[in-house]
Amino acid sequence: MQLSSITPKATLALCLAGASQAYADSVTDPISTFGVIASHNQYKLTVDDESDKERLNQGGLFYHFGNKLTGQEGFIYQAGIEGQYRDKDDVEYKSARADIDLGLRAALSTNNYVDVIVGGGYDWGRIEQDDVGPFDSNVKLTSKSPFAKAGLGYNYLTPDYTLRLEVGARYSINSEARLKVDGDSDSVDLKDKVNPYGELTVLWNKGINNLPISTSLYYTQTRYELDSNSAIAERSKLKQEQVGLRVGLAF
């Protein structure tokens, strides 16, 4: 066939087909996602079966990299880091998390996939309060918690979007809390705990100028108990529940 026999319409069709194929390939590759977090937190302190609750909104940033959302059959992975902050009256709330997930994915059908993941990471949180008590003390309470992680995932892939549902648990290991008052500090170990989580994510493949947009609604629960045989430790428990939304650009 001579080149002159290829019509302009055919040439355009070939170009579009090539672009479409390149885009289809790109959405299965590992991606970076950077964006913002908005969350609502509820803290429940229970002492002698009597509870007190406090609610707090926070905001922050996150970054993820991997193919856990876009990959098909085989090995999947994702590494991520996030941080949140809130300044309320004379109290500052800060939190951060870094984690990595590794897993295997199998196909149920052309568009449906299930996977099993394991992983680990590190949680950090701090509450700082000024002018506490009759001596206007400065108080810092810091928690540090390495964790292991296991979960189950389900992915539904289409040309326009990818939906992922993941549920699992984080298991805190050798957690520690440190209280610092006007320079004097003391540390106490926390019990290892199983903390459930769930997340529903949608990756909109054709977002702004074909730049994918990721939206995630998530829930996490974290329980803290002192690792001590004292009476006050046995009677006291703190539970944090967080519901949040992540919105980011994928590239």
The answer to the question of residue 154 being in a domain is yes
Q: Which residues of the chain have pLDDT under 50?
A: 1-26, 135
Could you tell me if residue 168 is inside a domain? yes
Which helix (H) or strand (E) element contains residue 14? helix 8-26
Q: What is the pLDDT of residue 132?
A: 56
Q: Would you say residue 7 lies in a domain? A: no
What is the number of structural domains in the chain? 1
Using alpha carbons only, how large is the chain's radius of gyration in Å? 23
d(CA 240, CA 222) in angstroms, rounded, equals 5
pTM to 2 decimal places: 0.81
Please report the pLDDT score of residue 3 as a whole number: 35
What CATH number does residue 204 fall under? 2.40.160
Angle at alpha carbon of residue 188, lines to 187 and 192, rounded to 5°: 135
Question: 105 with 72: CB under 8 angstroms?
Answer: yes
Q: Let me know: does 182 contact 167? Beta carbons within 8 Å.
A: no
What pLDDT does 230 receive? 63
1 assigned to some structural domain: no
pLDDT at 195: 96
The DSSP-derived string for 54-123 is EEEEEEEEEEEEESTTT--SEEEEEEEEEEEEEEETTEEEEEEEEEEEEEEEEESSSSEEEEEEEEEEEE
What is the pLDDT at residue 137? 64
**pLDDT at 18 (0 to 100):** 38
pLDDT (tens digit, 9 = 90+) per residue, 29-57? 899 999 999 999 988 877 766 777 788 89
12 domain-assigned: no
- Report pLDDT for 102: 98
Q: What is the pLDDT of residue 236?
A: 72
DSSP state of 226: B
- What confidence score (pLDDT) does residue 61 get? 98
The span from the CA of 206 to the CA of 201, in Å, is 15
Q: Could you give the CA distance from residue 219 to residue 217 in angstroms, rounded to a whole number?
A: 7
pLDDT at 180: 83
Q: Given CA atoms 83, 84, 87, 92 in this order, what sign does their dihedral have?
A: negative
Domain that holds residue 109: 30-217
